[in-house]
């Protein structure tokens, strides 16, 4: 059975560039099949994960956030490469039977998805800035960030 863990983790950060303290909600998603490995994966993601959350004061990303951002691109690029391979295989096998026509739409949709993710990735450092919150200045954060804060407050006694 496929296992799935999803949560918004509240993380504190101090901007390395301007020293502003802030916090943000990091959407953590872990998928797996192996129960034993899954728990360790979830613990690691919750305890050590880092989001791409620019400083709300100056817009800079901390070094560990830049690293996390770069790592996310790797995943998107691998996805693009796999989609292209599926498309190429589907194209080569075009005459082999109707079933293989499935490879072309599947590869095409997958390619579009990863291209979209890559475009979103480029803007992430800019668009995420308003999701970061300076303590006491919650009203300046985005609606999405305030929704996550309200949900977090509701489940934290
Ligand atoms: Zn800053």
For 2-58, write each residue's pLDDT tens digit.
899 999 999 999 999 999 999 999 999 999 888 889 999 999 999 999 999 999 999
38: buried, middle or exposed (CB in 10 Å: 19+, 13-18, 0-12)? middle
Are the CB atoms for 135 and 141 separated by under 8 Å? no
Helix and strand element counts for the chain (H, E): 4, 2
In the reported structure, the alpha carbon of residue 119 is separated from the centroid of ligand 1 by a whole-number distance in angstroms of 24
Q: What is the pLDDT of residues 104-142, one digit of tens each?
A: 899 999 999 999 999 999 999 998 999 999 999 999 999
CA–CA dist 108, 103 (Å, integer): 8
In the reported structure, the alpha carbon of residue 22 is separated from the centroid of ligand 1 by a whole-number distance in angstroms of 9
Domain assignment present for residue 157? The answer is no
Looking at residue 98, what is its pLDDT? 65
User: What is the token pair recorded at 105?
Assistant: 């739409």
| The total number of residues written for the chain in this structure | 157
Domain assignment present for residue 104? The answer is yes
The total number of structural domains that make up the chain: 1
Q: Which domain holds residue 128?
A: 3-152
Domain assignment present for residue 50? The answer is yes
CA–CA dist 91, 103 (Å, integer): 8
In the reported structure, the alpha carbon of residue 94 is separated from the centroid of ligand 1 by a whole-number distance in angstroms of 54
In the reported structure, the alpha carbon of residue 14 is separated from the centroid of ligand 1 by a whole-number distance in angstroms of 8
Residue 157 CA from chain centroid, whole number:
28
What percentage of the chain carries pLDDT values higher than 90? 82
3-state secondary structure of 60: coil
């Amino acid at each position: 059975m496929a296992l799935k863990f999803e949560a918004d983790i509240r993380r504190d950060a101090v901007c390395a560039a301007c020293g502003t303290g802030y916090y943000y909600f990091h959407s953590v998603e872990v998928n797996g099949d192996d129960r034993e490995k899954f728990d360790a994966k979830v613990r690691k993601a919750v305890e050590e994960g880092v989001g791409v959350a620019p400083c709300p004061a100056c817009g800079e990303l901390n070094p560990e956030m830049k690293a996390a951002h770069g790592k996310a691109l790797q995943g998107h690029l691998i996805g693009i490469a796999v989609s292209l391979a599926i498309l190429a295989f589907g194209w080569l096998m075009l005459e082999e039977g109707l079933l293989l026509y499935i490879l072309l739409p599947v590869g095409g949709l997958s390619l579009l998805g990863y291209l979209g993710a890559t475009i979103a990735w480029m803007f992430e450092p800019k668009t995420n800035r308003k999701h970061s919150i300076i303590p006491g200045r919650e009203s300046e954060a985005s609606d999405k960030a305030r929704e996550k804060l309200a949900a977090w407050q509701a489940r934290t006694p």
